[in-house]
Structure 1
């Protein structure tokens, strides 16, 4: 019961913090992309820091954090892994649902930071436009983050990896850094309860350019799913029907 109360208080203060931080930074962010990034990183940092003492949830980023122009193909389980990845990367740009642009505060800042909106069912068109914008210099270089399954996936569920990640990998000709996470075990897709423990985002070994589409997708899925399951099991998660090992 106590953890439920702590979880609800954490969510309430985090909901209030978003517009407050957004308004405080608005004069800077309105004229500067750097200001928009600083505001968003402040919010992500506050969410991570306050989670530690309010709900007992620590956050850790493992592996070599990408610094240059790379494609990051990440597992997506909850809002928490977005916050952790954005806070860790120097210049992250997410491929995201276009509906997010209509959200207060988040939408305005996403536009300012040149996030890549994607219409459902028109992902190919969005990727084509993004590549054209990159080539024309209308989008600044950075770390392009794509969620290869296209949505949040709860621990234990199997959702196919979408081919859009392979198209980006081949057309950009950049190194791809896979990323795994167990964030969904502590911060689920739905509901108010937040579990204490250690949430991890792990950047895995880079996949260099040059693989065929099929080989790239196979390697990406194997490495991300394997690392994610390891992180989940280390956190105490077990697949449905599996019993803990005897001590």
Structure 2
């Protein structure tokens, strides 16, 4: 039965996404970034509501949600943590892989809200392009979200933290807010089943600008991984994973 509920939820989610995206796109084009943000946040709230209603997946955002110009460095376990984070940020935008620009609906609104596409296969050139675009985007302000591991990582799995987050922190000279999650326990990568429970996204205390890149990377990895493991343990599924050695 839970599998059937999950299938209904997924179909309904993408149907609502398509209807909202198509019907409201002219409004977003005319209204600009502010209107596009409202539309995207409304969709995120709908998914959070429907997840609780259909599959019994409750969601909770903890900590102090940043409102000014900050860099948000988040753990990424599933599509749901993206939606939960964006549902509460007043002017959020993402560092995203370039392929998503061409994705129907997602790409349209990503462009409108100011997301920064990155070609992950270009190494140093991609980092330089990302920094240039992020610096330019500071003029519009908002909360720039990056996933320091660069991709979704299943609970308990280890994936190195990439230096792109540190480069952004050093270049933008804004506070950085680490974000821990346990969402992957309930919304697994590449799976249909959505499990009931309490999915949590937690904004941790901000890190002031001024640290050296290596020190900053070590700090966000320690904070994000430690707190994410605690959230997963709180959900009844303790995950014990050693942090990636440095040096």
Deviation string for 1:84-139 (max 9, x for gaps)? 00111001110001111111111111111110000022354344344434555685
Q: Say whether 1:22 aligns with 2:13.
A: no
Distance in 2, Cα, partners of 1:119 & 1:34: 27
What is the alpha-carbon root mean square deviation over aligned residues? 1.6
Q: Does structure 2 conserve the Cα–Cα contact (< 8 Å) formed by 1:10 and 1:51? A: yes
Question: In structure 1, what is the equivalent of residue 98 of structure 2?
Answer: 98
Deviation string for 1:148-206 (max 9, x for gaps)? 00000000001000011111111111110000000100001111000101100000011
Q: Does structure 2 conserve the Cα–Cα contact (< 8 Å) formed by 1:95 and 1:146? A: yes
**Partner SS for 2:99:** helix
Shift of 1:37: 1.2
Question: Mapping of 1:1-247 within 5 angstroms?
Answer: 2-31=1-30, 32-122=32-122, 124-133=124-133, 135-136=135-136, 140-239=140-239
Change (3 A) 1:89 1:107: same
Distance in 2, Cα, partners of 1:214 & 1:132: 21
Q: Does structure 1 conserve the Cα–Cα contact (< 8 Å) formed by 2:73 and 2:177? A: yes
Shift of 1:239: 4.0
Q: Does structure 2 conserve the Cα–Cα contact (< 8 Å) formed by 1:19 and 1:105? A: yes
Q: TM (normalized to structure 1)?
A: 0.92
Deviation string for 1:213-242 (max 9, x for gaps)? 1211111111100000000011121349xx
**Partner SS for 2:140:** coil
Change (3 A) 1:138 1:145: closer
Deviation string for 1:16-58 (max 9, x for gaps)? 1111011221121122222211221111111001111101011
**Partner SS for 2:120:** coil
Extract unaligned runs of 5+ from structure 1.
241-247
Once the two structures are overlaid, the 10-residue window that deviates more, 222-231 or 103-112, is: 103-112
Extract unaligned runs of 5+ from structure 2.
241-247
Q: Does structure 2 conserve the Cα–Cα contact (< 8 Å) formed by 1:123 and 1:164? A: no
